[in-house]
Amino acid sequence: MLDTVVTVLTTGLTNGALYALATIGLSLVWGSMGMFNMAHGAMLALGGYLTFTVCTQLGLPLPVAVIAAVAGGALFGVLLYLVVVQRLLARSTEHFETSVMIATAGISIALEEALLVAFGGQPLKQPFTVSGNLHLGQSVVPLLDLADVVIALIVMGLTYWFLSGTKMGRAIRATAQNRDAAVLMGVPVQRIFLQALAISGALAGICGVLMSSVTQLTPWFGDDPMLKAFIMCVVAGLGNLPGAIAASFCLAIIEAAVEFLAGARWGFPALLFIVIAILIWRPAGLFGRSQIRRL
């Protein structure tokens, strides 16, 4: 029994930390600019492949490769804003939420196809790895899982510090909570949108490295976590960052328990069932409030 609990908790906490990291990136952009970034999954894959390329193909040290993933993700976020989002915002704020969702879905497909052409469809092994196991009674906990959790928690902590302890972070939160008021305080909201997408891209970069370290690297590996991150955002209340983190851990543990007890194929349907039930019960999500976007 104890071994079952340890196994479920280990899997749930590892997945929860990684989902939370993916969810923060999605939630940050949704909260600050009302944009659901359908390309977030492809950005996870981009981060994974950047680390693979820099480390395995260019032969540079792993820390450099991870920094490349973070920087590459941030750069992609900046380009996404300058080339697409800025223009859509300028054309129509009324239809922005729909148009940007369709546009980023297209970008996601294009980016995944580009990765497919560049690297092929065969699963690759992420060079970021930690060997060895931790033995807890009969249970075996891979050190890689622990490393992923620790790194994810550190990144979440840094994100929290940035959003609450820096002027730029406060401006992002202020823009998310009341855009008109932020403008009246002299906040350049267009620049804030750019910064939010850059940070989201950087988070996607590191998250892609960690996620592909426990799975495998394919052009589409980010789609499944993005879908789950979206579910967690919805359950928490779109744009609610602390709620999204809490929802990520809770749902990941539930998913792990269902997969352990009923079989792996029931994990995702269980998540969908939960999100449907919560949306019926609380349409704005567990921690969400109607018309208020929170970071």
Partner 1 sequence: MHDIASLSLSDVWAGYDGPDILKGISLEVQPGRIVTVVGPNGHGKSTLLKAISGLIRVRRGDITLSGRSVLPLSPHRIAATGVVHVPQGDLLFPNMSVYENLLMGAYGERDAKQTAQRLDEVYALLPRLAERHRQIASSLSGGERRMAGIGRGLMAGGRILMLDEPSLGLAPLVIEQIYDVIGKLRAQGRTILLVEENPARVADLCDDMHLLDDGHIVWSGPPHELMGRDELLAAYLGG
- Which residue in 118, 181, 277, 279 binds partner 1 (CB under 8 A)? 181
Are 267 and 255 spatial neighbours (Cβ–Cβ below 8 Å)?
Answer: yes
Q: How far is the CB of 246 from partner 1 (least distance, A)?
A: 15
Radius of gyration over every alpha carbon of the chain, rounded to an integer in angstroms:
19
Give 1 or 180: the residue with its C-beta nearer to partner 1.
180
Give 165 or 263: the residue with its C-beta nearer to partner 1.
165
> How many CA atoms are closer than 13 Å to the CA of 101, on its beta-carbon side?
8
Give 57 or 178: the residue with its C-beta nearer to partner 1.
178
Spell out the residues 6+ positions from residue 203 whose beta carbon is closer than 8 angstroms to its own: 21, 22, 24, 25, 28, 73, 155, 159
| Residues facing 124 on adjacent strands | 217
Q: Cβ atoms within 10 A of the Cβ of 110, count? A: 12
What are the backbone dihedrals phi and psi of residue 139, each rounded to the nearest 5 degrees, phi first?
Answer: -85, 145
Total of residues contacting partner 1 (CB under 8 A): 20
Distances in Å between the Cα of 25 and the Cα atoms of 111, 157, 199, 245, 295 are: 18, 14, 7, 11, 11
Give 65 or 171: the residue with its C-beta nearer to partner 1.
171
Q: How far is the CB of 28 from partner 1 (least distance, A)?
A: 14
Q: How far is the CB of 293 from partner 1 (least distance, A)?
A: 9
- Which residue in 1, 131, 167, 280 binds partner 1 (CB under 8 A)? 167
- Contact between 247 and partner 1 by CB under 8 A: the answer reads no
Give 31 or 77: the residue with its C-beta nearer to partner 1.
31
Q: Which residues from 182-221 bind partner 1, rule CB under 8 A?
A: 182-189
Give 228 or 294: the residue with its C-beta nearer to partner 1.
294
Q: How far apart are CA 231 and CA 174, in angstroms?
A: 25
Are 189 and 130 spatial neighbours (Cβ–Cβ below 8 Å)?
Answer: no
Give 86 or 177: the residue with its C-beta nearer to partner 1.
177
Q: Which residues from 254-293 bind partner 1, rule CB under 8 A?
A: 292
Angle, alpha carbons 43-45-46 (nearest 5°): 60
Q: How far apart are CA 160 and CA 164, in angstroms?
A: 6
Q: How far is the CB of 192 from partner 1 (least distance, A)?
A: 10
Contacting range for partner 1; rule: CB under 8 A; set: 22-30, 73-81, 165-173, 269-277:
165-173
Spell out the residues 6+ positions from residue 261 whose beta carbon is closer than 8 angstroms to its own: none
- Residue 132 three-state SS: coil
Contacting range for partner 1; rule: CB under 8 A; set: 72-80, 131-139, 179-187, 267-275:
179-187
Please report, as ranges, the residues that interact with partner 1 according to CB under 8 A. 167, 170-171, 173-174, 177-178, 180-189, 292, 294-295
